[in-house]
Amino acid sequence: MTKGIRKADLQEFLRSLAPRFRVVAPLKGMGADMVMGDLDEGELAEDPGRMHFSVKGVFFPRQESMFRFRKGEFFEEEGERPAAVFGLRPCEARGLQHLDRFFRQDFCDYYYQRNRRGSLVMTVACPVPPSRFCFCTSTGGAPVAESGFDLQFLPLDESTFAVESGSEAGGELLASSFFHDLSPAEQARLEKLKAEAPGKLALRFPLEKIRRALESGSVPDEFWQRFGEICLYCGACTAVCPTCTCYDVSDRTCDAGEIERGRSYDSCIFGGFTREASGHNPRKDEATRNKRRLEHKLLFDPHKYGYFTCTGCGKCSEFCLSGYSMVEALQGLATMAE
């Protein structure tokens, strides 16, 4: 089902969800800045733009309290209202589909499932790439999502969104008075934008050829060594990546002798990530760790899941402090794979 909504009515529609959901959306920040946060704490940004945020943080937070205990008593953190997330791009929605699979593949991760249960996903399609680093079509994605959303918003013009439902919950929302039937002209405009969107991405990579090159071991060590020399190992790439899932678990002492157990993001590029209790580290050098990160997305996961777990969002390169991440590596690998 496809309807339309005036952009002027969007914030009111999102606020109408607040009694049932914690509404998370792009908010106006100071100056030209934009933040992703709870809608009841700010004003909706006019253009969702390019989020400096991965939606995985809503369901898999950067830091999360799991439970507390004191003198034999156990206290579990209560979950919040289900989240209704607006503004994520189709590449982020694909990443969320992978997280759904990852966090239940061997056992059901209680904390992720608690945060994800009953949530709404509202994507904003990309009739034009939101960043010069986008390459979703190379990884099996598309600027207009085909699945993984409850509602998908596609800007038709300066005043109107076309809105598609992707689930029963989304279809029920479209029945509200905020939405109108599309006119024949709006429907034609929608189909035109959908057809033209994939051709507007400037970046394209032969990922299947690159996967075979990685599998054959034909990529020289010098390539990875150069990567290792450039990387600052800040962890920004894995923090903003929609599909990175590594975390660490730790305990800390709080007031009155209370102990809290929590988990927080970890990263395979950190020196201590693979360090063993004996002190031995099978990936002690920077080049090996960066090689492992790329192979994870482009070689090992395609074997395990049947798809690349790089979604082509390009955020790792966009926010890389040294200016060398997945996009730049793929440019070099593509030359070797030809």
Once rounded to an integer, what is the mean pLDDT over residues 96-107?
94
Is the pTM above the cut of 0.85? yes
Q: What pLDDT shows up at residue 297?
A: 96
Burial 100-136 (b: 16+ CB within 10 A, else e): eebbeeeeebebbebbbeebbbbbbbbbebbbebbbb
pLDDT digits (tens, 9 = 90+) for 238-287: 999 999 999 999 999 888 789 999 999 999 999 888 898 999 988 888 88
User: How far is the C-alpha of 314 from the C-alpha of 52, rounded, in Å?
Assistant: 12
Q: What pLDDT shows up at residue 100?
A: 97
Least confident of 39-43, 157-161, 249-253: 39-43
Residue count (the chain): 338
pLDDT digits (tens, 9 = 90+) for 286-330: 889 999 999 999 999 999 999 999 999 999 999 999 988 999 999
In 3D space, the residue among 30, 85, 87, 88 whose CA is nearest the CA of residue 59 turns out to be 85
User: How far is the C-alpha of 290 from the C-alpha of 212, rounded, in Å?
Assistant: 18
Q: In sequence order, what E strands does the chain have? A: 2-6, 22-28, 34-38, 63-70, 73-76, 83-88, 120-124, 151-155, 160-165, 247-253, 259-265
Instruction: Please state at what angle helix 326-337 crosses helix 221-230, rounded to 10 degrees.
Output: 160
Instruction: Give the whole-number percent of the chain exceeding pLDDT 90.
Output: 75
User: How far is the C-alpha of 63 from the C-alpha of 176, rounded, in Å?
Assistant: 36
Eight-state DSSP code of residue 271: T
